[in-house]
């Protein structure tokens, strides 16, 4: 659990009132996440998630919150930010930017099956299609420029073979990003972090229904294929080695493709984007481990998972059927 900013009940009570969310009933820290401070909030007006942003600025946040609002109003299962009386979505607590968003029902899945993967693929395609006319533009802040800036800072902590892997892969991704084929990839605002712990399933009506895609605070304009690769790398793992489960991957991509068929260039570059997605999260986990920030309770995740995954993607390129 990451609690960078500890909030008092009284200040959250005032905050909820100012946002016309109702009288505060309860406040509970969320025991996950390593980027922001999050609390579950219950009020007379409903159930919410309160986020205090530790890295993002007031100037950056309208992109994320307006994107969530845009998608939610299209009927997608996305938290909707609560505006104040002036229509403002970005608020302030303890001098830091903050937002209050609707809390969606459901639970995370540790071991999704092919049906869950298909539900994700279908929803992801809908998200991409709905984002096509979203007017705000902000790059993926954890994209290639961030990789180039972060790699030198973490390289000294790596064993020689891992340092070579990092250098070789960064060079490969730089060459890819400069290619004509990469320039042809479809782009829009993407989630960029749609791991299993950012998706909710609700079984209250019988059967598992995908009920929520949450935590859009790594979103940015990027290739749609990168977003898809992030999902395949997490939702379709066969084992700890990083191999892809063909059944789950096919279910995810088939469902996605029924709404938005992949282009020929996307098919061809899919193995390279799987490598890009592995590199991005290897670097972020290395940074969280070796370049930490202070927090009340912070448990960085193991970087070796994505190192193994990247090695597997390099050694055994995986193509969609």
- The answer to whether residues 20 and 165 belong to one domain is no
Contacts made by residues 66-69, CB under 8 angstroms, sequence distance 24+:
66/134, 66/136, 67/131, 67/134, 67/136, 67/189, 67/216, 67/219, 68/101, 68/216
Domains: count for the chain: 2
Last residue of a domain, one of 102, 127, 144: 102
Backbone torsion region of residue 33, taken as left when φ is above 0, otherwise alpha when ψ lies between -120 and 50, otherwise beta: left
Last residue of a domain, one of 102, 136, 154: 102
Please provide residue 178's backbone torsions phi and psi, each rounded to the nearest 5 degrees. Answer: -90, 0
Q: Is residue 193 part of a domain?
A: yes
Q: Domain containing 193: what range?
A: 114-315
CATH code of the domain containing 30: 3.30.200.20
> Is 204's pLDDT higher than 90?
no
Strands 209-213 and 91-93 come out as unpaired
- The answer to whether residues 147 and 40 belong to one domain is no
- Report the pLDDT value the prediction gives residue 1, as an integer from 0 to 100: 44
The DSSP code sequence of 143-211 is SHHHHHHHHHHHHTTS-HHHHHHHHHHHHHHHHHHTSHHHHTS-EEEE-S---GGGEEEE-TTSS-EEE
CATH code of the domain containing 222: 3.90.1200.10
> What is the rounded distance in angstroms from the CA atom of residue 114 to the CA atom of residue 248?
4
pTM (2 decimals)?
0.94
- Per-residue CA distances from 290 to 2, 33, 55, 142, 293 (Å): 16, 17, 17, 17, 10
> Is 93's pLDDT higher than 50?
yes
- The answer to whether residues 81 and 134 belong to one domain is no
Last residue of a domain, one of 102, 132, 159: 102
- The answer to whether residues 200 and 229 belong to one domain is yes
pLDDT digits (tens, 9 = 90+) for 251-296: 999 999 999 999 999 999 999 999 999 999 999 999 989 987 665 4
CA-wise closest residue to 26 among 51, 44, 14: 44
Residue scoring higher pLDDT (98 or 32): 98
> What is the rounded distance in angstroms from the CA atom of residue 226 to the CA atom of residue 120?
15
pLDDT digits (tens, 9 = 90+) for 208-253: 899 999 999 999 999 999 999 999 999 999 988 899 999 999 999 9
Q: Is residue 141 part of a domain?
A: yes
User: Which two tokens mark 28?
Assistant: 């509970």
Average pLDDT, the chain: 94
Neighbours of 208 (CB within 10 A): 17
- Report the pLDDT value the prediction gives residue 2, as an integer from 0 to 100: 61
- The answer to whether residues 142 and 264 belong to one domain is yes
């Amino acid at each position: 659990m990451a609690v960078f900013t500890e909030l008092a009940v009284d200040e959250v009570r005032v905050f909820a009132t100012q946002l016309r969310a109702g009288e505060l009933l309860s406040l509970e820290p969320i025991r996950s996440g390593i980027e922001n401070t999050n609390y579950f909030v219950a009020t007379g007006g409903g159930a919410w998630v309160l986020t205090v942003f530790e890295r993002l600025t007031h100037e950056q946040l309208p992109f994320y919150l307006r994107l969530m609002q845009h998608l939610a109003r299209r009927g997608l299962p996305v938290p909707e930010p609560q505006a104040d009386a002036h229509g403002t979505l970005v608020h302030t607590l303890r001098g830091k930017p903050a937002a209050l968003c609707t809390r969606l029902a459901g639970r995370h899945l540790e071991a999704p099956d092919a049906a869950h993967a298909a539900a994700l693929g279908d929803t992801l395609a809908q998200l991409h299609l709905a984002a096509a006319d979203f007017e705000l533009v902000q790059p993926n802040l954890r994209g290639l420029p961030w990789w180039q800036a972060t790699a030198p800072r973490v390289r000294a902590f790596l064993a020689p073979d891992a340092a070579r892997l990092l250098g070789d892969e960064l060079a490969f991704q730089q060459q890819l990003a400069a290619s004509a084929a990469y320039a042809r990839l479809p782009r829009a605002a993407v989630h960029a972090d749609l791991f299993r712990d950012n998706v909710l399933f609700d079984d209250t009506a019988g059967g598992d229904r995908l009920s929520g895609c949450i935590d859009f605070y790594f979103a940015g304009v990027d290739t749609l294929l990168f977003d898809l690769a992030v999902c395949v790398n997490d939702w379709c793992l066969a084992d700890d080695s990083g191999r892809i489960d063909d059944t789950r991957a096919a279910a995810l991509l088939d469902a996605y493709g029924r709404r938005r068929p992949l282009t020929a260039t996307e098919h061809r570059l899919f193995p390279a984007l799987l490598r890009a997605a592995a590199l991005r999260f290897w670097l972020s986990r290395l940074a969280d481990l070796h370049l930490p920030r202070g927090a009340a309770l912070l448990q960085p995740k193991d970087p070796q998972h994505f190192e193994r995954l990247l090695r597997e993607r390099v050694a055994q390129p995986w193509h969609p059927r």
